[in-house]
Amino acid sequence: MRDYKLVVLGAGGVGKSSLTVQFVQGVYIESYDPTIEDSYRKQIEVDGRACDLEILDTAGVAQFTAMRELYIKSGKGFLLVYSITDDEDSLNELEAIRQQVVRIKDSENVPMVLVGNKCDLTEERRISTEKGKEIAAKWGEVPFYETSAMYKTNVQEVFVDVVRQIMLRETTSLNNTSSAAVNNINNNSNNNPKNSNINLAGVGEGQFNNKGLAVDNGDRNDGSKASKTTANGSRNDNTSAKKDKKMKKRKKFHCVIL
């Protein structure tokens, strides 16, 4: 089971705690109690893989924003939440938070979703759906959802989406590492062609000396004795008896390298 730490970020009063508690416990919180920091755990299955989620519900009030950097450093995925009933200042605050996430993670491709919460309060809406989509596109096609913690609208979906992004990022990173390793091996083989292919054509029943090199034992496959002809045309068959005995004692073996 893989562990994933998700961080819920946004201004105060946008419904971060309500969203998190609804996802983890299936309970809707009606009253607003400013959060300093709450941590929740939930096990879910995403695309057939078991995941253990640690969800950090962070403070939205100004006096605790200094702690945000610690949350971001430890998180793998992020939910950036605003309320559709707020003015666009809450969206502007999210822009600053996103820039902080990108800076700390040193990447534009951080697992993240943009969440417009309280979509059930249609009569109090002040931020349009189109505006939310516009911001998400500006951030590099970040997934965008409108949610209702009260009616569980898209609550499960936003958390699962972040987990999927983390899983995809891990898979891509693993594939890149594997490809780099294969390329390195291929480059080494190309730089050392003598080491990649060993041709023992012509070595039949042979022996290897103490350096691992094939040597001719003087026996041919047809049973005839190998010999050399000297410059004066005489045969060099006068090998000492002692050497013949040693050669006979040596074991013969076939060597085939594919």
Given CATH 3.40.50.300, say whether it is the number of domain 2-170.
Answer: yes
Question: Please, what is the end-to-end C-alpha distance for the chain in angstroms?
Answer: 42
Mean pLDDT over each residue of the chain, to the nearest integer: 80
Q: Name the residue ranges covered by the structural domains of the chain.
A: 2-170, 196-225+241-258
Q: What is the pLDDT of residue 225?
A: 46
Name the band, by pLDDT with cuts 50, 70 and 90, for residue 209: low
Cβ–Cβ under 8 Å, residues 153 and 120? yes
Q: Tens digits of per-residue pLDDT, 26-47?
A: 999 887 777 677 899 999 999 9
Q: With the C-alpha atoms ordered 137, 139, 145, 150, is the resulting torsion angle positive or negative?
A: negative
Residues 6+ apart with CB under 8 A from 199: none
Whole-prediction pTM value? 0.68
Q: Which residues contact 14 (CB under 8 A, 6 or more apart)?
A: 60, 81, 82, 83, 86, 90, 117, 118
CA distances in angstroms from 41 to 8, 24, 60, 129, listed in the order given: 13, 7, 20, 31
Judge whether residue 210 has pLDDT over 60: no
pLDDT at site 113: 99
138 pLDDT tier (thresholds 50, 70, 90): very high
